[in-house]
Chains A and B, each alone.
Chain A
């Protein structure tokens, strides 16, 4: 790749025929989506669906989608072939570098436009249970949106968050959040927190909840002690922010590393927000959401961080992950006496957990030892087969599993200790949720320690170059089996949690599609990054529940995989490293994209070699 040979070019904005074609395709694609998701035609007027889709507010969102997609594709194409770059640089510029390269006018314009977009998006989602459950994009609803207080809460939050993000990541150095007057900052933080707590008022529909601010009202916000807790935390954050010491001048770290730097107050804000969301928010949710929080999100978070060890840390493609999940669940059924085979002793589910861990781990080792010598694709096929074997056994081996009829009743979580007698109640999903949190949070920390330890580094080394790793004395097989076994045991625990909550197991819970879903969570969130994977699990498991609940955009459950597939395709084009990638993984993908860089170095050897 010769960098000097190209003459510096002027920016060349002219669009050509190909760009127009690309744009049209994208817009037409958007319109087609609009028609697809619109109402259906009727026998009397078959064009009804198309007409309504294209002539009402419904089309606006998809049109914007088409335009944005077209612009993005054009931008990518232009940047890739170098037309839109002043000077060709050997290294691809990062997003933050591109933005900071704008002149200040453009920088403000960028900020304004993105803020507007963020606000718009937050508006669309702000009303979780609005009066009109049809298309949120229609102007009519947008207008009404402003009558609801929670709209303002989300607006302020969205804009504030966006500013923080823009400041931290894009380093718009001339427009620092901190350059705003400090009282304004403090005040807006407090307002944001107040408005945000308004939205979590459990008794009132949020749109009327200005009343909740009235201390005399029976259901006032101020009757909840948690409100005070959050206010205090909010104040603490604000104060720590206001009185933070500015870094010493002249000791500024390099630009690139500053983009990645996490400031202390960002960390505090993150912890506070995470704490609120994890411990408090669920209390205010409806039963539907509490159930899906445990069964759809919690269990899948556990599964995803487990699979992340295998796929993300060790770089092994496992398509039969659900087998270990099934194993954990059926072990629970076995020790509860819910299978035709009777156990030597029945166990409390809490004591089943270690058994599930050990059995899943052993099966992981047994499967791993012979198969992990295989290269990637073969491993995927073998694990796929294993997943199917377990499913077929669960389904057809009726003497052991009751087959498709489902197992008997599985014992619930219960504690009878030192005078405490508590049985988890299926009617109260939160009791399970907190138990799950009790497993999930330690698991997150332990796995994070693991990733940043010798073991994690060794996995990275094996992923990068197995031959080199072995030349250092690393037993690659041992480490792969280790990853496999740890992933398996995590799935085993998730199996116990599912079995206990569901009460009866059916084999068709453990189909191949579930393995793929979990893999999608990991890839979508960002392989190798625990935060990313959790994020992926939460977003992708929440979205179907949400759409299902409201049936927005003509959503039907059967279409789920269509949308997830489309989402993945878009992701792989624009962000192959996942939403919140790990640092290492991002670098690996960058290296792969810049394959030319190392080819350059190879060229140098051949030149210097005497022959």
Chain B
């Protein structure tokens, strides 16, 4: 597939942990504005791929290029995770990682503030810029909570949120950083069917209204097929198939991978 305007270019990435090869020669491209989904059986290396894309893991081989704009190119490999995030890559985690002792609002606000300039001196003296930024981040956080439909939970502690709300809070917090691309790691895990529906709607809104590209890991096939424009299937760390939802559903390799995986699981 030729990519005119890619946002992520992953070339021949190999990631090993001792004897385990989590990613084996993985190459993929994501178009700007696209919802690309990564699927695969448990342990296929999906989360590892996310960790490479966000700078958390350092792959032994290969290169990852991120294009925040058409003209800019950033090498991800070797870049610290926070600098990758600053460049415009936001993510959520497979097991949600909230700041539990803080409120929903504070969680989102931290995301917004992460990119502001206020330093300790400004914060201590409440300098004009600090106050200005604080006003902005308050307003923006409220907007984001409204966007993900969590306004009624503004002052709830993150630890006492129900599971579905946590997922959406994590998305709101990631959106606070004003990302170019959003990486979602199994956002629908542990949510009930109606929450799933709302989540699918939220994801496609983020994509169309905010113009944010989305890379999605999800096990729920119905959700993936309805949302994603393109799919990439991983198995044992390698890409085994790539294509539209239609093509993937008919791909014999994919069917086998999933059947094989469930065979293993039942053993």
Residues of A within 8 A of B (CB): 446-447, 449-450, 453-458, 460-461, 464-465, 467-476, 482, 486, 584-585, 587-588, 591, 597-598, 601-602, 604-605, 608-611
Partner of B134, one of A453, A584, A597, A611: A453
B99/A464 in contact, CB under 8 A: yes
A454/B157 in contact, CB under 8 A: no
Inter-chain pairs besides A453-B124, A472-B174, A604-B190, 19 sampled, C-beta below 8 Å: A447-B124, A454-B123, A458-B110, A461-B99, A464-B99, A465-B97, A467-B81, A467-B97, A468-B99, A470-B85, A471-B174, A472-B110, A473-B115, A584-B101, A584-B102, A591-B159, A601-B163, A605-B189, A610-B220
Tell whether A457 pairs with B56 under 8 Å between CB atoms, given A446-B125, A450-B123, A602-B95.
Answer: no
B86 within 8 A of A: yes
Partner of A472, one of B80, B157, B176, B265: B176
* Complex contacts, A608 vs chain B, CB 8 Å: 189-191
A611/B42 in contact, CB under 8 A: yes
**Tally of A-B Cβ pairs under 8 angstroms:** 137
Of all A-B residue pairs in the complex, the 7 with the closest CB atoms, nearest first, are: A453-B123, A473-B85, A587-B101, A468-B97, A605-B190, A446-B124, A473-B86
A494 to B102 alpha-carbon distance, docked (Å): 32
A457/B100 in contact, CB under 8 A: no
B111 within 8 A of A: yes
A-B contacts, 15 of them at CB < 8 A, read A450-B124, A453-B118, A453-B126, A455-B120, A460-B102, A460-B110, A461-B102, A464-B101, A467-B93, A472-B110, A475-B80, A587-B101, A588-B100, A604-B163, A608-B190
A294 to B109 alpha-carbon distance, docked (Å): 40
B14 within 8 A of A: no
A16 to B223 alpha-carbon distance, docked (Å): 57
B82 within 8 A of A: yes
B113 within 8 A of A: yes
* Complex contacts, B99 vs chain A, CB 8 Å: 460-461, 464-465, 468-469
* Complex contacts, A469 vs chain B, CB 8 Å: 99, 110, 114
A473/B125 in contact, CB under 8 A: no
Tell whether A464 pairs with B111 under 8 Å between CB atoms, given A455-B120, A475-B82.
Answer: no
A472 to B80 alpha-carbon distance, docked (Å): 12
B249 within 8 A of A: no
Shortest Cβ distance from A467 into B: residue: B97
Give chain B's interface residue range (CB within 8 Å of chain A). 35 or more
Tell whether A457 pairs with B109 under 8 Å between CB atoms, given A446-B124, A473-B114.
Answer: yes
A584 to B133 alpha-carbon distance, docked (Å): 23
A458/B113 in contact, CB under 8 A: yes
A602 to B166 alpha-carbon distance, docked (Å): 12
B137 within 8 A of A: yes
Partner of A457, one of B42, B110, B126: B110
Q: Mark B54-85, 1 if CB is under 8 A from A, else 0.
A: 10100000000000000000000000111101
Tell whether A601 pairs with B101 under 8 Å between CB atoms, given A453-B130, A471-B90.
Answer: no
Could you say which of B82, B116, B163 has the most chain A C-beta atoms within 10 Å of its C-beta?
A: B82
B11 within 8 A of A: no
Partner of B101, one of A454, A474, A591: A591
Partner of B100, one of A471, A591, A609, A610: A591
* Complex contacts, B123 vs chain A, CB 8 Å: 449-450, 453-456
* Complex contacts, B137 vs chain A, CB 8 Å: 454
Smallest CB separation, B188 vs chain A (Å): 9
B34 within 8 A of A: no
B159/A455 in contact, CB under 8 A: no
A457/B82 in contact, CB under 8 A: no
Partner of B173, one of A447, A472, A482, A598: A472
B91 within 8 A of A: yes
Q: Mark B171-187, 1 if CB is under 8 A from A, else 0.
A: 00110110000000000
* Complex contacts, A482 vs chain B, CB 8 Å: 120
* Complex contacts, B80 vs chain A, CB 8 Å: 470, 475
